Structures are given as structure tokens and as C-alpha cells.
């Protein structure tokens, strides 16, 4: 692990400004806005979207999430050229020969009745496994990308069986390519659980802690642990990962799901030779669930690790700058997008940047740190909500009874004050 600096969940640290020589393609292009009404002063400069996370400098907080959008050199190069803040490659392991995908492996949920092909896509399911490409091939492409884009952030996503030597070998090999950080896939909900990989580790806090210790004893770059939502309390594994040396956590991975049953054929979807298997659910429909999980982790980090510089990368149903703003308001340093890219393309980042800037202008925020974690303070318990509402009602009733004494009269509110003491 590498203990590099980053910001707290709520911070006011100065942001990194674009230098004059900053390449134009790295500045977020203007497209259409999400509909925010901007009240910022005309003299105010453009909001700064740059972030520094665990010592990693990114031009914006938008990160390609591990999956098909980071599956090979060509698509990762496309992401960098479009201006994404960072790219997390598709998860790799030592032996890709054990990874065999099927087709079709995606299914979609639409907003209209009976799933016709006309409605808006609100849910996406996949039964896709980690990278089926030889590790050596992926490593060569990592190295090539870092040579061509030395100032861009490339993060390797890795997954291995519960074997210390295997984890150490994999970490050593990916680090030799020059990657900037590592994300540990403790969260894939399907595929190879019998090999104690993915969510099989993320759901077992004792095993998770042991594996994280192996990893962080070996790694020399920042390590993020990617959390599974398929667990009762996501803060437990997140806390274990941080206590075991990880510099940050990412949440959430996909939600275990059965997309649906074809009522004509009676077969489940996606259908492979008449059969299917539960898979991972993503896209807009999971966004509220992801917000709740990220909020819980952010609160835990703020309470339990107040003196630590840990990072939080949020994932789940991001298709607009507003979606991203919600995650940042809950404490996220970066926002990952995977399914959104599969649905809208790599140039989605321009729209995300424009819409996030519009939000920032509306509130006169000049940097990400100015509003990161700002909305955490507005969450409380149901018991406390009842108490606050009761107190508010009592206060309103007391006000209707009129002024308590002659000293409370005011000139400007005199008529209303008089009416407040009239008996109905």
C-alpha cells in the first residue's frame, strides 16, 4: 500500500487548477445541460472539476468503472482521448483460461409495461465474467497506455483465489506496467464463487481482512477495495478493508438479480440454450440503492476514521451530472461509470462535466471539495425525525397564541402580530 494524501469526507482544501498548457482535450467540452438554472455571478470563473485522490491528480472526478468499457487497449485509449478523469481496466486474474463467457450475457429492463422494445432502459443485467484475455496481453496494453498517456490515471482491477502467493504475484506483475493504483474486486456477484473470488470474499469479513493484509503488505500503489451491495451492512466490510491497509473503498458493484421471465417462452433472461443464471443488476434503477450504501460508508468513514485520509469512489446508475453531484454531496471523491458508457458511449463524459459544472454554478461552488459531503449532515434516525417534527409543531402552536410580552412587538410585523392574538 502507499499512504499518500487525499481529502477528508468534508473538506475545504484548495483545488488543482488547469495550467495554461493543459491539453484542450482534457478540458471537459460543453454539450447540453441537465436543466440547472445558474445564478452565479458573471465574474465568477468556470468551476474547477479537478480532484486529487490518494495522491492521484485527475482533471475531473469521472472514472471509467471496471467492465467492458475498459476491456482492451483500444477502448481505454478512447476513454482517455474523450477526457475521462481515470480508467479502471476490466478485472484481470493470473489464469484467464479459466474464464469462459457466454452469449447473450446482457438483459435490459425498460420502463414501459411488458418490457417492449420502446421504453427507456432503466435496468441492465449482466452475467459477464472478468477478463477472458491472457494476463500478459492485458499487461502489455497497460504498459503501452502508460507510455502514451503518462499523465493520465490508469487503475488495474484484480481478482484472485484465496492464495497469498497468487495475490502477491498478480500485484507484482500489474505494478511493473506502471499503473497508478489497484482496485480489488471483492464484489462480483456471479461467476467463480466456488474459487473464493469476488463477492465470496467481500461477504466474509474475516477472510476479507486476511486477504487485504496480504495485498497491502505487497502493494506499493494506492489500493481501493470494491464493495458488494449484496450484504446486510456494507459498512462492516468497508471498515475491515480500511483497517487492513486499503487507502479507499469503491461502492457499489452490481446487485444480484434475476432480470425476468419471458412470458412467451417461459425461459429466464438472458437466455443461453434455454437456461440462465442470476447476474448483476446496474443502470438507473440501482441509483437510489447505491446512494444509500455510499451514504452509510461515508458516515462510517467520517465517524470512525476522522484522522485518516481515505477515499470513496461511488458507483451506481450515473447517467447525468446531477447523478454524480448526489454522490459527491454524500462524500464521494470520484464517481465511476460503466453501464452508462455501454448505453451512451465514451463521449458521455462531456455531458457529465457540463452538467456537473452547471450544478456548481447554480450554488456558486468553485471546486469539488467545496460541496463534497455537504448533504451527510441532513441524515438522522427515524426517532430523531419524530422528535424534531413534534418540536416544530409545538413551536408553531405556541406562535399562534401571540406574543409573550410587550417587548416582543415589532413595528414592521405589527398587523400580523395583532392577528396572531385574535380568537377564532
Average pLDDT over residues 107-133: 82
pLDDT at residue 203 greater than cutoff 80: yes
Q: Which of residues 37 and 194 earns the better pLDDT score?
A: 194
Predicted confidence at residue 114, as pLDDT, reads 55
pLDDT band (50, 70, 90) for residue 141: very high
The sign of the torsion formed by the CA atoms of 352, 357, 358, 360 equals positive
> DSSP letter at 228?
P
pLDDT-based confidence at residue 115 (cuts at 50, 70, 90): low
Question: In angstroms, rounded to a whole number, what is the distance separating the alpha carbons of residues 181 and 11?
Answer: 23
- pLDDT given at position 423: 67
The predicted model gives 380-394 an average pLDDT of 94
**Residues 212-230 pLDDT 10s:** 999 999 999 999 999 999 9
35-44, 245-254, 393-402: least confidently modelled range: 35-44
- 51-378 is a CATH 3.40.50.300 domain: no
Task: Assign 152 a pLDDT band (cuts: 50, 70, 90).
Answer: very high
Q: Is 343 buried (19+), middle (13-18) or exposed (0-12) by CB count in 10 A?
A: middle
Handedness of CA 357, 358, 361, 363 (dihedral sign): negative
Report pLDDT digits (tens) over 37-65: 444 444 468 999 999 999 999 999 999 99
- 331 touches 312 (CB < 8 A): yes
Q: Do 76 and 154 contact (CB within 8 A), yes or no?
A: yes
- Residue in 28, 188, 212, 246 annotated catalytic: 188
Beta bridge partners of 313: 250, 334
Per-domain boundaries in the chain: 51-378
The reported pTM is 0.84
Residue 69 to residue 318: CA distance in whole angstroms: 14
- Is residue 188 part of the annotated active site? The answer reads yes
Terminal CA-CA length for the chain: 71
Given a contact cutoff of 8 angstroms between Cβ atoms, the answer to whether 203 and 228 are in contact is yes
Amino acid at each position: 500500500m502507499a499512504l499518500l494524501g487525499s481529502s477528508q469526507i468534508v473538506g475545504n482544501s484548495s483545488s488543482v487548477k488547469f495550467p495554461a498548457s493543459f491539453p484542450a482535450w482534457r478540458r471537459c467540452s460543453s454539450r447540453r445541460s441537465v436543466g440547472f438554472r445558474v445564478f452565479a455571478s458573471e465574474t465568477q470563473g468556470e468551476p474547477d472539476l479537478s480532484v486529487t485522490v490518494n495522491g492521484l491528480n485527475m482533471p475531473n472526478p469521472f472514472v471509467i468503472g471496471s467492465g467492458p468499457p475498459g476491456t482492451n487497449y483500444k477502448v481505454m485509449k478512447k476513454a482517455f482521448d474523450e477526457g475521462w478523469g481515470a480508467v479502471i481496466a476490466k478485472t484481470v486474474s493470473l489464469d484467464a483460461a479459466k474464464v469462459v463467457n457466454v452469449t447473450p450475457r446482457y438483459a435490459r429492463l425498460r420502463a414501459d409495461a411488458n418490457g417492449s422494445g420502446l421504453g427507456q432502459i432503466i435496468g441492465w443485467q449482466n452475467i459477464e465474467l472478468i477478463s477472458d484475455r491472457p494476463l500478459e496481453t492485458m499487461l502489455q496494453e497497460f504498459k503501452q497506455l502508460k507510455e502514451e498517456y503518462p499523465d493520465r490515471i490508469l487503475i488495474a482491477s484484480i481478482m484472485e483465489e484465496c492464495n497469498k502467493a497468487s495475490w502477491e504475484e498478480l500485484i507484482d506483475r500489474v505494478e511493473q506496467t506502471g499503473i497508478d493504483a489497484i482496485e480489488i474486486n471483492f464484489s462480483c456477484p456471479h461467476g467463480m464463487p466456488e474459487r473464493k473470488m469476488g463477492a465470496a470474499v467481500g461477504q466474509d469479513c474475516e477472510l476479507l481482512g486476511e486477504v487485504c493484509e496480504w495485498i497491502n503488505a505487497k502493494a506499493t500503489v494506492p489500493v481501493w477495495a470494491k464493495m458488494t451491495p449484496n450484504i446486510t451492512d456494507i459498512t462492516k466490510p468497508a471498515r475491515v478493508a480500511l483497517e487492513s491497509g486499503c487507502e479507499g473503498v469503491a461502492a457499489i458493484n452490481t446487485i444480484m438479480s434475476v432480470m425476468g421471465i419471458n412470458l412467451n417462452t417461459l425461459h429466464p433472461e438472458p437466455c443461453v440454450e434455454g437456461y440462465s443464471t442470476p447476474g448483476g443488476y446496474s443502470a438507473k434503477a440501482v441509483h437510489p440503492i447505491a446512494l444509500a450504501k455510499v451514504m452509510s460508508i461515508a458516515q462510517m468513514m467520517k465517524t470512525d476514521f476522522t484522522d485518516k485520509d481515505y477515499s470513496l469512489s461511488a458507483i451506481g446508475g450515473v447517467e447525468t451530472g446531477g447523478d454524480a453531484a448526489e454522490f459527491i454531496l454524500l462524500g464521494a471523491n470520484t464517481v465511476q461509470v460503466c453501464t452508462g458508457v455501454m448505453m451512451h458511449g465514451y463521449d458521455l463524459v462531456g455531458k457529465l462535466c457540463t452538467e456537473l459544472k452547471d450544478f456548481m454554478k447554480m450554488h456558486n461552488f468553485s471546486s469539488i471539495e467545496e460541496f463534497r459531503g455537504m448533504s451527510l449532515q441532513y441524515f438522522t434516525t427515524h426517532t430523531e425525525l419524530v422528535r424534531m417534527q413534534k418540536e416544530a409543531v409545538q413551536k408553531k402552536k405556541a406562535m399562534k397564541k401571540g406574543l409573550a410580552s410587550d417587548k416582543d412587538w415589532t413595528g414592521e410585523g405589527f398587523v400580523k402580530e395583532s392577528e396572531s392574538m385574535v380568537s377564532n
